[in-house]
Amino acid sequence: MGVTETKDEFAYHRSVLPNLGVLLTLALIETVVVHLLAVALWGWTVAIVLGIIDVSAVFALLSLLRAIKRQPVTIRNRILTMRVGNLKVLPIPVSHVAGLREHWDGAALKKRGVLNLALATWPNIMIELDPPVAYRRRKIRAVAHKLDDAPAFAKAIKAVMAEEAGTLPTRS
């Protein structure tokens, strides 16, 4: 069961899951090959231990795939929640969103202050943050993601930012 998108929820599973599905397939193939090699070289005891580790990794990946489908990016109560399932979740006050970038290169994605939530795909949205947001002992200055409907997200976040700017007290 997937997510029904509303104006405050933005799915990313159609963009991210195909590449992760390929990763899962490779993990399953690797599990079989390593298991057979372990049996041939070291015996059943080592093969069983490696098999348990591999099966645990496959179940963790399956859990991530389910979470990605069920947990969209959201904009609620002036909080933008960027996420990749349960793996990474970053709540961002809308007041910290400085803008959206339309173009970037690989070097921009590799900067320490950029959190790339697109996993194994090229992101289609990058949100600039000012002031930065703290995340796991890092100061995040930008968040990149691959959303299924980036134009709808851009429209929604710009509307919330405009509303936020309109509600801020003016200085005289």
Return d(Cα 24, Cα 6) in angstroms, integer.
29
Write down the pLDDT at residue 168: 52
Q: Supply φ then ψ for residue 132, to 5 degrees.
A: -65, 160
Q: Supply φ then ψ for residue 170, to 5 degrees.
A: -90, 145
In sequence order, what are the residues at sequence separation of 6 or more whose Cβ sits closer than 8 angstroms to the Cβ of residue 22? Answer: none
Report pLDDT digits (tens) over 57-103. Answer: 888 888 988 999 999 999 999 999 999 998 999 999 999 999 999 88
Highest mean pLDDT among 11-20, 127-136, 161-170: 127-136
pTM score, whole prediction: 0.79
